[in-house]
Structure 1
Amino acid sequence: MRNAILASTSTLHGEKYLTYLLPELSKLFKNAQELLFIPYARPGGISHDEYTSLVKEATKELHFSVKGIQEFEDPIEAIKNARAIFTGGGNTFMLVDKLYRNKVMQTLKEAILNGTPYLGTSAGTNITGLTMQTSNDMPIIYPPSFKTLGIVPFNLNPHYLDPDPNSTHKGETRETRIKEFHKINTQPVIGLREGSWLEVNNNDITLRGNLTARIFKAGKNPIELETNSTLNNIN
């Protein structure tokens, strides 16, 4: 039983943190009195406590309280006892390293598969795929493994950007990078554009938001997936 929102980003341009997702979160976390926040990705060098405070402020109109995993003596027990979990964005390498070194990767996976409502944004969405190898982040630390939660049967590329025909930038595009990934790896990759998210409800995975998603499969041309379409048979 899975019940999750896997969002490309936490913040849309010109909006406050999590604002565009609040209507969805009120439904996702409707039965939770407390939200466990995992701030391990630490964006911009802020502390875990500062990051947790940002989430508290952003969700204050909802009915639950927020507590960071760093406030618990035993992070494994914190996840096991959580009624709802949110993993925020930042650097995926940092996040994955911390999850492994605190020995909570498997515990987090089990919690989500057992039905604990889960929100991921950016890096927190990256880790729900089979591996973290399609992250856009710099490898600032070397995690014990690139293998992640496998909550969905593919990889993700949050913040997916289409090539800009007017750009003078000559570097690789996101599409080029994902095609490089597929020279060695076989799992599909979902390019999630800003403002899009995957709604995971038990066995159903549905694209939500106003934009299409870019679907990449090894040895095939990319295709566009229309919003409100399912990814149940993506393989």
Structure 2
Amino acid sequence: MKLLLISNSTMPGEPYLDYPKNEIKKFLGDKPVTAVFIPYAAVTFSFDTYCEKVEERFAEIGHHVVGIHTFDNPVKAIEEAEAVVVGGGNTWQLVRMLHEKKLMNPLREKSFNGTPYIGWSAGSNVACPTLRTTNDMPIIDPLGFDCTGMIPFQINPHYLDANPEGHGGETREQRIEEFLEINPKCYVAGLREGTMFKLENGNLELIGSRSCRIFKKGNEPIELSAGDDFRFLLG
């Protein structure tokens, strides 16, 4: 498999998709690629608008995207794609539409056959076995929590170490501990903003200057950084 799973699209004060664009370029290679883009996580703006934003950045690095909603047969679009890109937004809405359009299995099969897959935020969540470590509000019935299972562990994108000042609710770590209490065999990777996982040639690599926090029931959380060995997460 060849996966690039990005925590977030944009860093504060930077243009959209600016910080990961060079990693996306390296990941896709020098030959121009036109990827099928899945904009289903968009809720408050149109799929066309989302595609235009992503295409602007991809064109800057010599690649392109075309929205899956423009195809008459979305399953066939995935089956014939050079690469697949899944944008962030609301994970519940994204999963709902992937189930409705029967795209989970085609996405899984496509990735296992080596087609490059890029996702950020919700797009990283759906590479996991389940959406249940998303941060998003459940605004719609997802028609099932199962996702593609391209990777055997869970990602919590946008991972934060503490709550904002003055907020007394549960921390992100406490929420993840709740998940692990119910799912004790799972690993959860708290993927901080500005970082991403790259899976290629059986090697799982963290990219970015910030560390990743790894959770497993019965173990103290550990911090791993770029250059550390993450292959244990692959089982």
Which TM-score band applies after superposition, normalised by the shorter structure? over 0.9
Match of 1:231 in 2: 230
Distance 1:34 1:76 in 2: 17
Matched, 1:197 2:192: no
Match of 2:36 in 1: 36
Which has the higher mean CA deviation after the structures are superposed, 12-21 or 86-95? 12-21
Distance 2:141 2:50 in 1: 23
SS in 2 for 1:198: strand
**What root-mean-square deviation, in Å, do the aligned CA atoms of Structure 1 and Structure 2 show?**
1.3
Match of 1:219 in 2: 218
Matched, 1:65 2:64: yes
Superposition TM-score, scaled by structure 1 size: 0.95
Matched, 1:6 2:11: no
Distance 1:159 1:32 in 2: 30
Contact 1:190 1:216 in 2 (8 A): yes
Which has the higher mean CA deviation after the structures are superposed, 32-41 or 87-96? 32-41
* Cα shift readout 1:71-113 (whole Å, capped 9, x = no counterpart): 1000000001100111000000000110010001100111111
Select which of 171, 181, 185 maps to 2:179: 181
Contact 1:32 1:84 in 2 (8 A): no
Match of 2:105 in 1: 106
Instruction: Report the alpha carbon displacement of residue 229 of structure 1 after superposing the two structures with TM.
Output: 1.9
SS in 2 for 1:200: strand
Distance 2:113 2:84 in 1: 13
Matched, 1:169 2:164: no
Q: Cα distance 1:64–1:226, how it changes in 2: closer, same or farther (>3 A)?
A: closer
Residue identity in the other structure for 2:86: T
* Cα shift readout 1:99-131 (whole Å, capped 9, x = no counterpart): 010001100111111111111100000111111
Unaligned runs of 5+ in 2: none
Unaligned runs of 5+ in 1: none
Instruction: Report the alpha carbon displacement of residue 32 of structure 1 after superposing the two structures with TM.
Output: 4.6
Instruction: Report the alpha carbon displacement of residue 230 of structure 1 after superposing the two structures with TM.
Output: 2.7
Instruction: Report the alpha carbon displacement of residue 15 of structure 1 after superposing the two structures with TM.
Output: 0.7
Matched, 1:25 2:24: yes
Match of 1:74 in 2: 73
Residue identity in the other structure for 1:19: D
SS in 2 for 1:20: coil
SS in 1 for 2:110: helix
Residue identity in the other structure for 1:36: V
Instruction: Report the alpha carbon displacement of residue 202 of structure 1 after superposing the two structures with TM.
Output: 2.7
Distance 2:95 2:107 in 1: 12
Corresponding residue pairs, total: 232
Instruction: Report the alpha carbon displacement of residue 179 of structure 1 after superposing the two structures with TM.
Output: 0.4
